[in-house]
């Protein structure tokens, strides 16, 4: 069997690409389906074995997707360098153009589906890594939840276009083999099976336009029903507080280590009741602080939903966390010493912080490290290789003294 194509038969290189990529795609679609189902189950149960299985399957799925992407590029480069055997039904214009449209959809999907999944992975944080030595990011792809969500939606849509094209391709091949009894399918099987194409062949322009219309219609239709819309902002769940210092801007973040990689997220909704004086009282106390955090406002990359689950923050039963502390100073600097309450556990903590006051404007920052086990978070995950015990909490803010001129 020759390596290269001729006008009547496919060579061994083309056949190898065809069946290898077909096997990878079928396997990966099944892997993605099973892994997604496990991920939904993980949200309600933090069974360590379940988490490890989901992570394993997602890593295989992602790594296989990258392999498909590069195999597809190699196949396309090989295809453009080779003659393509003509269709055996070119004298049936409608059927021939449908076959060519399916081929365009397949070639485009081989690149677009894995690439959109790869962008989704690179733009978010957390969960299963790609198994290769070149890192988890992509050039020109920022860490952005909006980019990640858009890419994930495209991946979802394009995969179904691909599945539809594969279904049409397989149905057409079976029709040729069973009904037409021609060599369309046989000439892609091992061995040499030449077949004379019909004199009439369809052009590529109309099938390409049809394929573009299918992609455009799918993406446009999804946009019309809101699949690309940003999630609606949740109604604020925390009451405003009257504070001696009003927070104008700030960031409250946590960093966890999952499967050996840091995943940082932030809370969009929190309040702070701050009383602070530059001059300490007789006991060395500068003031007090009381912070309340809406747990559901946390964005933690691809593990956000899992973090809300019953074995983690259990947001349904414990929607807020609280930190109350006295603001004191010692020889090492300023410390907020008090109690951090998450879920149903209150733990004494000390958080070093820095503050700078310029007139009626203050900037402050600080942080501490806690052990998630002290708050009954992730009790079902005892392997630090899956989820480290230590969690870093950090804040920075700018505040204005109440009653000062705007």
Domain CATH number, residue 372: 2.40.128.110
Q: Are residues 189 and 80 in the same domain?
A: yes
Under the banding of pLDDT at 50, 70 and 90, the label for residue 234 is: low
Is 406's pLDDT higher than 60? no
pLDDT band at 390 (very low <50, low <70, confident <90, very high): very high
Render pLDDT for 156-189 as a digit per residue (tens, 0 to 9).
999 999 999 999 999 999 999 999 999 999 999 9
Q: What would the 3-class secondary structure string for the chain be?
A: CCCCCCCCCCCHHHHHHHHHHHHHHHHHHHHHHHHHHHHHHHHHCCCHHHHHHHHHHHHHHHHHHHHHHHHHHHHHHHHHCCCCCCCCCCCCHHHHHHHHHHHHHHHHHHHHHHHHHHHHHHHCCCCCCCCCCCCCCCCCCCCCHHHHHHHHHHHHHHHHHHHHHHHHHHHHHHHHHHHHCCCCCHHHCCCCCCCCCCCCCCCCHHHHHHHHHHHHHHHHHHHHCCCCCCCCCCCCCCCCCCCCEEEEEEEEEEEEEECCEEEEEEECCEEEEEEECCCCCCCCEEEEEEEEEEHHHEECHHHHHHHCCCCCCCCCCCCEEEEEEEEEEECCEEEEEEEEEECCEEEEEEEEEEEEEECCEEEEEEEEEEEHHHHCCCCCCCCCCCECCEEEEEEEEEEEECCCCC
Q: Are residues 170 and 273 in the same domain?
A: no
Indicate the pLDDT class of residue 233, thresholds 50, 70 and 90: low
Based on the fold, state whether residues 43 and 133 are members of the same structural domain: yes
173 and 264 co-located in one domain:
no
pLDDT for residue 45 = 66
- In terms of pLDDT, which residue wins out, 234 or 249? 249
pTM of this structure:
0.86
Q: How many domains, the chain?
A: 2
Q: Which residue has the tokens 């061995």?
A: 191
Task: Please report, rounded to a whole number, the percentage of residues in the chain having pLDDT higher than 70.
Answer: 98
Pick the last residue of a domain from 158, 193, 224: 224
Q: Do the domain assignments include residue 392?
A: yes
Is residue 230 assigned to a domain?
no
Domain match, 84 and 119 both: yes
Residue 321 has pLDDT above 60, yes or no: yes
Query: Is there a single domain that holds both residue 163 and residue 284?
Result: no
- 381 is a domain residue: yes
Rounded average pLDDT over 126-144: 92
**pLDDT given for residue 404 in this prediction:** 67
Both 56 and 204 in one domain: the answer is yes
Cα–Cα distance for residue pair 143/395, rounded to 1 Å: 20
Inform me whether the pLDDT recorded for 405 exceeds 60: no
Does residue 121 belong to any structural domain of this protein?
Answer: yes
Any domain includes 172: yes
pLDDT greater at residue 313 or residue 230: 313
Q: Which residue range is the domain that position 278 belongs to? A: 245-401
Shared domain for 268 and 341, answered yes or no, is yes
| pLDDT (tens digit per residue) in 57-106 | 999 999 999 999 999 999 999 999 999 999 999 999 999 999 999 999 99
- Inform me whether the pLDDT recorded for 274 exceeds 70: yes
* Domain boundary residue, one of 224, 257, 285: 224
Looking at the structure, do residues 186 and 271 belong to the same domain, yes or no?
A: no
Same domain for 179 and 149, yes or no, is yes
Task: Give the model's pLDDT for residue 127.
Answer: 76
Q: What is the CATH number of the domain that holds 83?
A: 1.20.950
- The reported pLDDT for the residue numbered 187 is 94
* Mean pLDDT value across the chain: 93
Q: Assess if residue 240 is contained within a domain.
A: no
Do the domain assignments include residue 2? Answer: no
Question: Do the domain assignments include residue 122?
Answer: yes
Residues 99 and 216 in one domain: yes
Report, as an integer, the average pLDDT of 11-26: 96
Look at residue 330 in the predicted model and tell me its pLDDT: 83
Looking at residue 331, its pLDDT comes to 81
Judge whether residue 54 has pLDDT over 80: yes
Pair (253, 288) in one structural domain = yes
Can you give the pLDDT at residue 284? 83
């Amino acid at each position: 069997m020759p390596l290269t194509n001729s006008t009547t038969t496919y060579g061994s290189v083309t056949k190898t690409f065809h069946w290898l990529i077909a096997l990878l795609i079928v396997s990966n679609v099944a892997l993605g389906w099973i892994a997604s189902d496990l991920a939904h189950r993980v949200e309600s149960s933090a069974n360590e074995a379940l988490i490890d299985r989901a992570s394993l399957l997602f890593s295989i799925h992602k790594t296989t997707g990258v392999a498909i992407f590069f195999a597809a590029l190699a196949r396309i480069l090989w295809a453009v360098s080779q003659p393509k055997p003509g269709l055996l039904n070119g004298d049936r214009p409608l059927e021939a153009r449908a076959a060519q449209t399916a081929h365009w959809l397949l070639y485009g999907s081989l690149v677009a589906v894995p690439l959109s999944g790869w962008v989704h992975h690179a733009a978010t944080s957390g969960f299963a890594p790609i198994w290769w030595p070149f890192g988890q990011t992509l050039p020109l792809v920022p860490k952005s939840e909006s980019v990640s969500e858009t890419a994930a939606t495209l991946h979802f849509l394009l995969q179904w276009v691909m599945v539809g094209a594969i279904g049409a391709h397989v149905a057409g091949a079976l029709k040729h083999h069973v009904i037409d009894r021609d060599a369309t399918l046989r000439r892609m099987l091992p061995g040499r099976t030449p077949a004379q194409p019909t004199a009439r062949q369809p052009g590529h322009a109309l099938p390409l336009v049809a394929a573009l219309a299918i992609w455009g219609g799918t993406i446009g239709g999804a946009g019309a029903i809101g699949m690309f819309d940003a999630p609606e902002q949740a109604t604020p769940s925390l009451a405003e507080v009257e504070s001696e210092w009003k927070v104008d801007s700030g960031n409250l973040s946590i960093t966890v280590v999952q499967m050996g990689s840091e995943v940082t997220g932030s809370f969009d909704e929190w309040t702070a009741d701050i009383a602070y004086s530059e001059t300490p009282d007789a006991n060395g106390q500068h003031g007090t602080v009381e912070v309340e955090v809406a747990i559901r406002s946390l964005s933690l990359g691809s593990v956000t939903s899992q973090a809300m689950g019953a074995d983690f923050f259990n947001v349904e039963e414990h929607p807020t966390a609280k930190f109350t502390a006295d603001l004191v100073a010692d020889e090492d600097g300023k410390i907020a010493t008090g109690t951090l309450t998450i879920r149903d556990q209150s733990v004494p903590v000390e958080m070093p912080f820095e503050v700078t006051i310029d007139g009626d404007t203050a900037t402050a920052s600080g942080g501490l490290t806690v052990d998630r086990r002290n708050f009954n978070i992730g009790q079902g995950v005892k392997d630090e290789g899956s989820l480290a015990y230590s969690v870093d909490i950090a804040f920075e803010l700018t505040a204005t003294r109440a009653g000062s001129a705007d």
